[in-house]
Amino acid sequence: MDKTEVIKETLPLLFLLVLGGALAGSVLASMERVLEMIPGLIIIVPAVIDMRGNISTTLGSRLGSAFHLGLLHQGLTSDVGKENIKGSLALSLFTSALFPIFLWILSLFMPFEVTYEIVGTIFLISIFTGVSAALILIFLTFSIVAFSMKLNIDPDNISGPILTTAGDVFTLLIMFGYANFFAWVVL
Amino acid sequence: MGFIGVVGGSVLGTIEETLLIYPVLLFLVPILNGVGGNLGAVLGARVSSAIHTGKIEPIFTDEELRENILVMMGMGFFVFFVFGIGMAGANFLLDFGVTSFQIFVIIIGAGFITILSITLITAAVSLWSYHKGLDPDNIVIPVETTLCDFIGIISLAFMVWLVIM
């Protein structure tokens, strides 16, 4: 194994990820007030950003393969593009609706309590965040593929880390916005 | 996997009080998950490809496999070491409400636990999926990133409990 090559290609990426994580972390740290107002919201945060990462990296990987197969020349409007957009949105909507339900089920076994009002608020926050973040990340994924086509880079090498890092930042920012809004409207 | 994510979050919920007193700890969550998850993803992708091309024998004692694991561990430890020193320094200037030593120990501890377990788990899942007749390319990365978020949060909770509570 060529150690220097792995280290040269991976180590700078890891430091960039620390920076990206720091950005996402600052958003999360500045959410402390609304996290306090909606107890239970912090419990779905890892699940939401994790699912966002899973959905967008698989989209990135599929678009990367489609790109290599030459199926993506018309960009967003190609059949492959449309199918992938629909699929990603449906997955986002479905998983976002599941998290508050998991939360409620868990609250029956774990040492914390949530009221129906809180679960309802978290349901709204989760769904709106999921769909909005999905739209932004779908657009970002297509941009990354288009950008790599222009610059002759293999999208497979860059889409994963960019999407997970940008996904965390956007998702948390969007969640922060909706959480403040729904906390103000409902509670 | 969504369920594991919510379970991970409920661990975060149990230290919520402390996290809200020291927001700098919330700040660490995405970094632990991001670095650990991506390090595991690189290792997972490399090991899966190497198993397919026959460079790595699908057994735990394989020399090449061990080298891959050690290099990834080394890089992960190095990144968290540098980051720990950086945050301890930043603490002098910004004062996060904890001592620089506490933040350094929390980062090093949580980072090392996360990296150590995620590299071993990634390797184990790659070998396991290969032996089950599944393609590791389809399995390793989603399993590894979800577990990493879980482990990252638990190790952070553990270090916070150890150092601050």
User: Each residue of B47-92: pLDDT tens digit?
Assistant: 888 888 888 887 888 888 999 999 999 999 999 999 999 999 988 8
Q: What is the mean pLDDT of residues B144-158?
A: 87
- Yes or no: say if A185 and A103 are a contact pair by the CB < 8 Å rule: no
In terms of residues, how long is chain B?
165
ipTM value of the model? 0.79
Is A158 a member of any domain?
yes
Q: Of B89, B91, B83, which Cα lies nearest the Cα of B109?
A: B83
| pLDDT value of position A9 | 75
pLDDT in tens, A14-61: 888 888 888 988 888 888 889 888 888 888 888 888 888 888 888 888
pTM of the entire predicted model: 0.79
B135 Cβ neighbours under 8 A, 6+ residues apart: B48, B129
Is A125 a member of any domain?
yes
Is B8 a member of any domain?
no
Give the distance from residue A72's alpha carbon to the nearest chain B alpha carbon, in angstroms. Answer: 23
In terms of residues, how long is chain A?
187
Chain B residues with beta carbon closer than 8 angstroms to that of A160 = 38, 41
| Closest residue in B to A32 (Cα–Cα) | B20
Please give the tally of structural domains in chain B.
Answer: 1
- Which CATH number is B154's domain given? 1.10.357.20
- Yes or no: say if B145 and A17 are a contact pair by the CB < 8 Å rule: no
Q: Quote the CA–CA distance of A81 and A87 in Å, as a whole number.
A: 10
Chain B residues with beta carbon closer than 8 angstroms to that of A18 = 31, 34-35, 79, 83
Write out the residue range of the structural domain in which residue B132 sits.
Answer: 25-163
- Residue A53 has its nearest CB partner, among B14, B145, B153, at B145
pLDDT in tens, B106-117: 999 999 999 999
- Which CATH number is A93's domain given? 1.10.357.20
b/e code B63-91 from CB counts within 10 Å (16+ = b): eebeebbebbbebbeebbeebbeebbeeb
Q: How confident is the model at residue A122 (pLDDT cuts 50, 70, 90)?
A: very high
Is B97 a member of any domain?
yes
- Residue A18 has its nearest CB partner, among B8, B31, B64, at B31
Please give the tally of structural domains in chain A.
Answer: 1
